[in-house]
Amino acid sequence: MNKKVDLQDLGHKHFKETWDYQELLFQEIIDTKIKNRREGTHTETSNHFLFVEHPHVYTLGKSGDINNLLVDDKALEQKGATFYKINRGGDITYHGPGQVVGYPILDLDNFFTDIHKYLRFLEEMVIRTLAEYGLKGERSEGETGVWLDVGTPFARKICAMGVRASRWVTMHGFALNVNTDLGYFDLMIPCGIKDKAVTSLNVELGQKQVDVEEVKAKLLKHFQVLFEAELVREKTEV
């Protein structure tokens, strides 16, 4: 089993361009697995972890309700935002500047073949990161992602998650609000959940800006421990 994970920080990149790149990496792993099965070979499959920051964009999961986007195309254009219906699970979410988006593209045959466990590990990675900032991140029963003050009238989501998996290969991932303009969440019903608010790390800490690179480093530290992975930093960026 190959537990090496190639890490790339793509910087600021348009959602569609990144989605296409994810699909390329995802398909390469799938193709290797199919070839191994057909030909009886044992070629190692690769694993990837992409960090990226997107321009303003709304994405709707394959089972999502378009009515959870509360504005039309013209209003989106005025806000400098785009919209895509995509092939992950979950409902509608927002990505934008000041948000740490992570896309692990893993062959779970290299780790464990359990999607439920995979999602819980991604949540745990974020929960442990928030704990380093003195915040108690929690899971909300029946709702993927990471929340604060679950079970109170002040429950608020700080990290959204949505993944796709095929042949135990994953894509898409998580979006952690760090220095995010929360006003963009007013244009939708986040994840289709009407009765809970959204927050960001800088708001919770009472800071104008939180060091994004520090947040990424903490996330990766916990990712390595949870997945027993070895990170390999790619020298070239896409």
Write the pLDDT tens digit of every residue in 106-129.
Answer: 999 999 999 999 999 999 999 999
183 is in an annotated binding site: no
161 is in an annotated binding site: yes
Rounded distance between C-alpha atoms, residue 56 and residue 180, angstroms: 10
* Tokens read off for 145: 């992602």
Strand boundaries in the chain, DSSP class E: 4-12, 48-53, 57-60, 82-85, 92-95, 99-105, 138-140, 143-148, 156-166, 169-177, 197-198, 230-233
160 is in an annotated binding site: yes
175 is in an annotated binding site: yes
| C-alpha dist (Å) from residue 53 to 14, 21, 125, 176, 197 | 8, 14, 19, 11, 22
| Per-position b or e across 103-113, b if 16+ CB within 10 A of its CB | bbbbbbbbbee
pLDDT at residue 238 is higher than 50? no
Q: Does domain 4-233 have CATH number 3.30.930.10?
A: yes
Alpha carbon 78 to its chain centroid, in Å, reads 26
- Write out the catalytic residue numbers: 191
61 is in an annotated binding site: no
Q: Whole-number mean pLDDT of the chain?
A: 93
What secondary structure letter does DSSP report for 71?
Answer: S
Please state the domain extents for the chain.
4-233
Write the pLDDT tens digit of every residue in 41-82.
Answer: 999 999 999 999 999 999 998 878 888 889 888 989 999 999
* Tokens read off for 127: 């929960």
